[in-house]
């Protein structure tokens, strides 16, 4: 073989090797997350034939149009992996965002832990949405103290579960989360405490723990990691809310707390005469607390893109996210309304439906 032919052969082999290395490199997992526009769900509609919001007994009214909650598709979370090639694709997509995974998840968080936490946050947002909507309508709300989390391997592991309503602890009736601390104030580490609960029946959305089975369990307490001289049960506690009538929310496969505002709007629309949105396509986002205060969320650029891509013309954005809105590329044809409370949200939707201007983020 001539020198020139040998040179060509080596160059060809080198090109093949470089291509192979590049291909392998693109398939290597990297510690990043991709955030992309996710699906939207109409709180006035249904999913696979099941209404997102079901209200029975109480007087309801016809609705029209959309009040969509928005979501973000996440790739590369715990237990998964984002390949280098996918990072390049996401970087080229203006509607997607690539961020270091550690900004969202510690290294020791498993996929199951992340899924459970997101599910609990969504359950809490449903409960808070019920309270906010009913408070806005000046209707009574029933509250209950529930187990919000159970520490793996802790004293209550296998005996209590998130969603269980706490009725008594060590003989003390529980009406507020502070009552649990008071009930445990005289207990010493190693003491056995009897806890009476109404077991969670799976109906988180309505906060309807009242239909669950009542059970009393004995739990051997342990030393509190933060205060070793005090006993603890190894649980987190919180407050859940429900209506005085059957009210259920069904949205499968969605996690996190950011759907609260749109769920509350859907409840208000169903319980008040007239079509709040005038039949128009409205979408939005925002956490909500039981008093109706709207809080910030993540991924607002992706949510705006997803909303407009599905047909929304008005987007409700939390006031505290307005700096993020200003930095994002607002899709053509999408009007942004700035909201800080549920009352702001109702007014913005009604004003837009009536052809009036809304307060934006500028």
**What was the pLDDT predicted at 336?**
98
The rounded distance, in Å, linking the Cα atoms of 159 and 181 is 19
> Of residues 162 and 252, which shows the higher confidence score?
162
CATH topology of domain 32-135+246-353: Ribosomal Protein S5; domain 2 (3.30.230)
pLDDT of residue 11: 45
The verdict on domain 142-242 having CATH code 3.10.310.40 is: no
Residue-level pLDDT at 58: 84
Q: Is the pLDDT of residue 350 over 90?
A: yes
Q: Above 60 in pLDDT, residue 162?
A: yes
Domain segments of the chain: what residues? Answer: 1-28, 32-135+246-353, 142-242
Q: pLDDT per residue over 197-226, tens digit each?
A: 998 665 444 444 456 799 999 999 999 888
- Sequence-distant (≥ 6) Cβ neighbours of residue 154 within 8 angstroms: 222, 232, 233, 234, 235
pLDDT per position as a tens digit, 293-327: 999 999 999 999 999 999 999 999 999 999 999 99
Q: Which helix (H) or strand (E) segment is 249 a member of?
A: strand 247-249
pLDDT band at 84 (very low <50, low <70, confident <90, very high): low
Tokens linked to 36: 């992309």
Distance CA 194, CA 160 (A): 12
Q: Which of 289, 329, 310 is nearest to 130 (CA)?
A: 289
Mean pLDDT of 157-168: 93
pLDDT at 358 over 90: yes
Please name the residues in contact with 303: beta carbons below 8 A apart, sequence gap of 6 or more: 37, 38, 70, 71, 72, 283, 285, 297, 315
How far apart, in Å, are the Cα atoms of 181 and each of 126, 151, 174? 26, 17, 10
Which helix (H) or strand (E) element contains residue 179? Answer: helix 177-184
- pLDDT, tens digit, 9 for 90 and up, residues 240-268: 999 999 999 999 778 888 999 999 999 99
């Amino acid at each position: 073989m001539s020198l020139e032919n040998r040179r060509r052969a080596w160059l060809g082999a080198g090109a093949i090797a470089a291509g192979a290395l590049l291909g392998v490199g693109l398939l290597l997992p990297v510690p990043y997350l991709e955030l992309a526009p996710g699906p939207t769900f109409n709180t006035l509609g249904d999913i696979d034939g099941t209404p997102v919001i079901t209200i029975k007994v109480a007087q309801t009214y016809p609705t029209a149009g959309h009040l969509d909650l928005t979501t973000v598709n996440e790739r590369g979370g715990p237990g998964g992996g984002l390949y280098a090639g996918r990072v390049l694709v996401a970087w080229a997509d203006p509607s997607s965002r690539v961020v270091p995974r550690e900004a969202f998840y510690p290294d020791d968080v498993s996929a199951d832990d992340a899924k459970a936490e997101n599910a609990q946050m969504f359950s809490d947002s449903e409960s808070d949405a019920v309270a906010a909507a009913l408070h806005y309508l000046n209707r009574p709300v029933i509250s209950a103290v529930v187990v919000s989390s159970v520490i793996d391997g802790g004293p209550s592991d296998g005996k209590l579960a998130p969603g269980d309503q706490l009725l008594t602890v060590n003989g003390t009736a529980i009406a507020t989360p502070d009552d649990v601390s008071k009930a445990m104030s005289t207990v010493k580490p190693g003491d056995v405490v009897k806890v009476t609960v109404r077991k969670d029946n799976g109906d988180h959305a309505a906060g309807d723990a009242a239909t669950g089975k009542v059970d009393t369990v004995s739990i051997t307490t342990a030393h509190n990691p933060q205060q070793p001289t005090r006993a603890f049960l190894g649980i987190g506690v919180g407050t859940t809310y429900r209506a005085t009538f059957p009210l259920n929310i069904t949205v499968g496969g969605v996690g996190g707390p950011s759907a609260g505002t749109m769920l509350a709007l859907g409840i208000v629309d169903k319980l008040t005469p007239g079509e709040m949105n005038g039949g128009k396509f409205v979408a939005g986002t925002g956490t909500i607390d039981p008093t109706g205060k709207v809080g910030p969320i993540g991924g607002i650029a992706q949510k705006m893109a997803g909303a407009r891509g599905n047909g929304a013309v008005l987007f409700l954005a939390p006031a505290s996210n307005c700096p993020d809105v200003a930095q994002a590329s607002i899709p053509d044809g999408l009007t942004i309304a700035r909201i800080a409370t549920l009352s702001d949200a109702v007014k913005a939707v009604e004003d837009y439906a009536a052809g009036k201007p809304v307060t934006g983020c500028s």
